[in-house]
C-alpha cells in the first residue's frame, strides 16, 4: 500500500554542517509534501509546503535560506538544514498528499541532533 519512507531516521551532526532529509512516496504520487517540525512534548508545527516542480511556501518565521526544500519529482522531496545549530535539533516529519485527494501519508520522521 501507499506509504512514505523517510531517511535518515536519525542523525547526529556537528554545528555548522548541513543535513539532508529525504522523503519518498511509495505506490503513490505526492503532488504536495508538507514538512513539519516537532520539539519534545510539543505539537507538529508546519514549516513549509512544497508542490512538485515549484518553489516551496514557507510558514511565517521559518527561514527559507536555512531550510531548503526541493520537490523535484512526484516521489521525492528533500529538506536540507543548512549550517545546522543546536537549536535546530528536533524531530522532522514529512506528510505526502496525493493530488486532489484528501488522503495523506506521514513519513516515520527524522530525529536530528546538532552538537
- Is residue 8 a contact point for another protein (CB under 8 A)? no
User: Do 80 and 18 form a contact (C-beta atoms < 8 A)?
Assistant: yes
Residue of 5, 22, 66, 91 interacting with another protein (CB under 8 A): 91
- Is residue 27 a contact point for another protein (CB under 8 A)? no
How are beta strands 104-106 and 110-114 bridged, if at all? unpaired
- Is residue 58 a contact point for another protein (CB under 8 A)? no
- Is residue 25 a contact point for another protein (CB under 8 A)? no
Task: Provide DSSP, 43-95.
Answer: --EEEEEEETTS--EEPTT--TTTEEEEEEETTEEEEEE-S--GGG-EEEEEE
Binding positions for another protein, rule: CB under 8 A: 31-32, 34, 38, 42-44, 46, 49, 51, 91, 93, 95, 97-104, 106, 108-109
Amino acid at each position: 500500500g501507499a506509504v512514505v519512507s523517510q531517511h535518515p531516521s536519525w542523525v547526529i551532526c556537528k554545528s555548522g554542517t548541513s543535513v539532508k532529509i529525504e522523503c519518498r512516496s511509495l505506490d503513490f504520487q505526492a503532488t504536495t509534501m508538507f514538512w513539519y517540525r516537532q520539539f519534545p512534548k510539543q505539537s507538529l508545527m508546519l514549516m513549509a509546503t512544497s508542490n512538485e516542480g515549484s518553489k516551496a511556501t514557507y510558514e511565517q518565521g521559518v527561514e527559507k535560506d536555512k531550510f531548503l526544500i526541493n520537490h523535484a519529482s512526484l516521489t521525492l522531496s528533500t529538506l536540507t538544514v543548512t549550517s545546522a545549530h543546536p537549536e535546530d535539533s528536533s524531530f522532522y516529519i514529512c506528510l505526502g498528499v496525493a493530488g486532489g485527494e484528501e488522503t495523506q501519508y506521514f513519513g516515520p520522521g527524522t530525529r536530528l541532533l546538532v552538537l
